[in-house]
């Protein structure tokens, strides 16, 4: 009786073990095939383009000095009006020009001890700012600003806030073409890798677009911008 009851159990156990062994083999084979399908290559594609700036910000700063405060304000106002007139003569629209309040310094209030008394008690720093899309006209006006200097206006160019700034705002218009260019370049690199490794290039597994960067082409031509983007693409490979 005991022998008859043990035999079916042994057969059942042997069948389970055989089934598990077969399942393990099949799973192992499937994993190897799956790994074969997961052969990939990751490449990068670069797109660069030079574009002209479409906005210029030109802070024109000048200084004035006097021992009489009302006279100083009058002189600053007269110089500001002369600069605005000059800009209009260069074809720059009045709405592109703004004038800030002058920064007045009382040197006697800053004097300590028995130092030498300054020649002028009051000094002023005034800024006339041009914000324009007429980049070429503004740049042409910059070359002629020295003419006003000969009329007695003392321009200041050493202030950080007086630095000329060029901006490019048309990034959205060129983004699609640049992304396409970067993707095409990435595929060419991937195709070369596939050929060198005796593989076939498959579909894209994943792709990521890098951040666009805009910089001056060089320090002497800040009105020309270099736009750059790098795309990263991962492709499937097959034998």
Q: Find out whether 96 and 130 touch, Cβ atoms under 8 Å.
A: yes
The CA–CA distances, whole Å, from 175 to 115, 199, 217 equal 61, 32, 18
Predicted confidence at residue 31, as pLDDT, reads: 40
3-class secondary structure, 84: helix
Which tens digits make up the pLDDT trace of 126-144?
Answer: 999 999 999 999 999 999 9
First to last CA, the chain: 61
Look-up of token digits 């797109």: 47
Give the model's pLDDT for residue 30.
Answer: 39
| CA-to-CA dists, residue 97 to 53, 62, 134, angstroms | 19, 15, 12
Q: Using CA atoms, how far apart are residues 61 and 149, in angstroms rounded to an integer?
A: 12
Specify the pLDDT at position 212.
94
Give 141-159 pLDDT, tens digit per residue. Answer: 999 998 888 888 999 876 7
Cα 55 to Cα 89, 219, 224, distances in angstroms = 20, 17, 11
Residue 121 per-residue DSSP state:
S
Q: Taking Cα atoms as reference points, which of 213, 212, 187, 215 lies closest to residue 202?
A: 187
CA distance 229 to 47: 6
- Within the chain, which residues score under 50 in pLDDT? 1-2, 20, 22-35
Cα angle at 8 between 7 and 13, to 5 degrees? 100
Q: What is the pLDDT of residues 75-101, one digit of tens each?
A: 999 999 999 999 999 999 999 999 999
Helices 69-89 and 135-144 cross at an angle (nearest 10°) of 130
Q: How many other CB atoms sit within 10 Å of the CB of residue 203? A: 6
User: Which domains are present in the chain?
Assistant: 35-53+168-239 (3.30.110.170), 55-167 (3.30.70)
Name the pTM for this structure.
0.75
Q: Within 13 A of 149's CA, how many CA atoms are on the CB side?
A: 12
């Amino acid at each position: 009786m005991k022998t008859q009851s043990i035999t079916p159990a042994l057969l059942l156990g042997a069948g389970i073990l055989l089934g598990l062994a077969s399942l393990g083999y099949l799973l192992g084979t499937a994993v190897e095939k799956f790994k074969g399908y997961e052969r990939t290559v990751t490449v990068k594609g670069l797109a660069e383009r030079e574009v002209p700036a479409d906005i210029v910000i030109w802070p024109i700063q000048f200084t004035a000095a006097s021992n009489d405060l009302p006279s100083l304000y009058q002189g600053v106002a007269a110089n500001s009006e002369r600069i605005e007139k000059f800009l209009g003569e260069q074809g720059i629209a009045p709405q592109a020009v703004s004038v800030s309040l002058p920064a007045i310094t009382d040197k006697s209030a800053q004097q300590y001890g028995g130092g030498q008394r300054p020649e002028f008690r009051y000094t002023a720093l005034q800024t006339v700012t041009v914000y324009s899309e007429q980049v070429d006209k503004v740049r042409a006006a910059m070359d002629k600003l020295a003419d006003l200097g000969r009329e007695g206006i003392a321009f200041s160019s050493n202030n950080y806030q007086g630095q000329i700034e060029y901006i490019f705002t048309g990034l959205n218009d060129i983004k699609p073409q640049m992304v396409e260019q970067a993707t095409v370049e990435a595929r060419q690199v991937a195709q070369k890798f596939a050929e060198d490794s005796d593989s076939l290039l498959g579909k894209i597994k994943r792709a990521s677009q890098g951040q666009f960067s805009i910089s001056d082409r060089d320090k002497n031509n800040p009105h020309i911008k270099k736009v750059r983007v790098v795309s990263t693409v991962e492709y499937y490979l097959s034998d």
